[in-house]
Chain A
Amino acid sequence: MNRRDHRLDRIRQAALTIGLGAAGLAIFLAIWTLASLKLDNDVLLPPPADVLTTYGELIADGSLAGDVKASIVRVFAGFFAAASLAVPLALVLAYSRILRALVMPLIALIRPIPPIAWIPLAILWMGLGDPPSYFITAIAAFFPIFINAFAGGTSLVEEHVNAARSLGASPLALLTTVMLPSALPSIATGLRIGLGQAWMAVVTAELVAAQSGLGYMIQISRLSLETSRVLVGMTVIGLLGALMIGSLGVLERRVIVPWHYPR
């Protein structure tokens, strides 16, 4: 197959994939519409068209943007705090047997506690508002990032170290030219998973402990039986989550570890 055929083939494949995805979505919306017509109860299940109208209203009055912004700020605050703690800690533990023995049992004990179980403690410590949400998102993002970064740190290939040493790399140069790059694919995976977890956790935290954000908006709308608002909140959460994880995936393949993926 020559290069042009090859490209055409890839475009065809991509078109097919996108087409099928769109078809799946359309089928889902159709079923939803039918179900809501059959139920005929806007509190239980408003039709997609109503949800779309509500989208329009919430965008027009600016409240959706406000809630999105509040949630995103919290997610990124927690995510960056978690990442800047988890990655160095994981790498240090990967290389130091003593520290590993000291810290790992603790981590094994804390890790199974779901982020949601931290919420009461977080509220007691920090009250309602932003801080508990930062804390919960950070907890949620921390473990996937830590676990993956640790795996990356321990995946060092001795042959690569020897190759670099034989070419004159100093111990310090080894750290930046061999150890860090070998850990990078796993770190990138951890960041992607961690961001997803943080996004889910922020909504959970806002359901209980905040006075703004998408989670809060869902909760308030439920209390006032405005189900189409609840669905706006939920779909926005889905869309933004997919978008964030997707862009991080692209960043990973194009920028962070392009050498790890075939072109």
Chain B
Amino acid sequence: MLSIRNIGKTYPNGTAALREITLDVGAGEIVAVVGGSGSGKSTLLRLISGLDHPTSGTIDVDGTRIVAPHPAVGIVFQEPRLLPWLTVEGNVGFGLAHLSRPERRHRVHQALKRVGLADYALRWPRELSGGQSQRVAIARALVARPSVILLDEPFSALDAFTRVELQDHLLEIWADTRPTLVLVTHDIEEAVALASRVVVLRPFPGRVAQVSDVKLARPRDRLSHSFDDEKRAILSALDTTLARRAPPAA
């Protein structure tokens, strides 16, 4: 379980990116974070991942205070960010240096199989399509068996077909081991399709504007009226954040 207490983040240049964010995410829950550009979504994920530090407040994962990158937290970035000098296998196994070679290979293979890329182990990242790269990035985040996986607009660079395919795929993976997912997205449909809760952030500085439950049974029918209703509810919440948005200090 992920517990975010009163965190604030002001960058050294004075930009107040986040203020007073408090959020609890239960084990196995999927939370989507939406909000306008600059509302601090990426900042929030960076803080949870331990890549950056909050200026105030605390973050705990399963009772462990996050002060640096932690194996319990995996992250998938918007761009795949695979290391181009490592093969697919090398990328997925990057964080498993502490394991024995056979164990590592086994885990890597399992993870690649899980994302449907078992035959791609020896490819270079530049030999992959965007969707394949993002699958590898997901495998890389999965392989350490983190209890929390952070995804920062993971599918936004993909075409609509691939995006829906990967969303469904992500749900299948989630159903296997039920990790906690925190998904930043600008795609309301994606939020409604995946999340059990949607957090709407409001910018300047980033604060929580609204948290709403998505009360749809899984599997969800993207074409149903109730799906549309959920989308509309989130859109209207977003609307209010945008209307009140103050221009950033120059």
Contact = CB atoms under 8 A, between A and B. Distances in A.
Interface of A: 159-160, 162-169, 173, 177-178, 181-182, 184, 257-260, 262-263
Interface stretch (B12-20, B106-114, B123-131): B123-131
- 6 smallest CB-CB distances across A and B, nearest first, come from A167-B95, A181-B85, A163-B81, A259-B124, A159-B81, A166-B75
B85 A166 contact: no
B135 to A, nearest CB: 15
Nearest to A184: B85
Contacts of B124: 258-259, 263
A173 B86 CA distance: 14
Given A166-B49, A262-B127, 17 more contacts: A162-B77, A163-B83, A164-B83, A164-B94, A165-B69, A166-B73, A166-B75, A167-B94, A167-B144, A177-B94, A181-B83, A257-B85, A258-B124, A259-B84, A259-B85, A260-B84, A263-B124
B126 A262 contact: yes
A262 B124 CA distance: 9
19 contacts: A162-B81, A163-B77, A163-B81, A164-B94, A165-B51, A166-B49, A166-B73, A166-B74, A167-B94, A168-B71, A182-B85, A184-B85, A259-B84, A259-B85, A259-B87, A260-B84, A260-B85, A262-B126, A262-B127
Contacts of A182: 85
A140 to B, nearest CB: 29
A250 B140 CA distance: 32
A162 B51 contact: yes
B70 to A, nearest CB: 8
A159 B77 contact: yes
Which of B50, B85, B126 has its CB near the most chain A CB atoms (within 10 A)?
A: B85
B95 A178 contact: no
Contacts of B69: 165-168
B79 interface: yes
A181 B126 CA distance: 15
B44 to A, nearest CB: 15
A159 B79 contact: yes
Nearest to B46: A162
Contacts of A164: 83, 94
A56 to B, nearest CB: 47
A169 B86 CA distance: 15
B59 to A, nearest CB: 14
Nearest to B94: A167
B144 A259 contact: no
Contacts of B125: 259
A182 B84 CA distance: 9
A160 B83 contact: yes
Contacts of B85: 181-182, 184, 257, 259-260
A250 to B, nearest CB: 18
A192 to B, nearest CB: 18
Nearest to B68: A165
Contact of A160 (B50, B51, B73, B81): B81
Contacts of A181: 83, 85
A257 B84 CA distance: 10
A168 B85 CA distance: 18
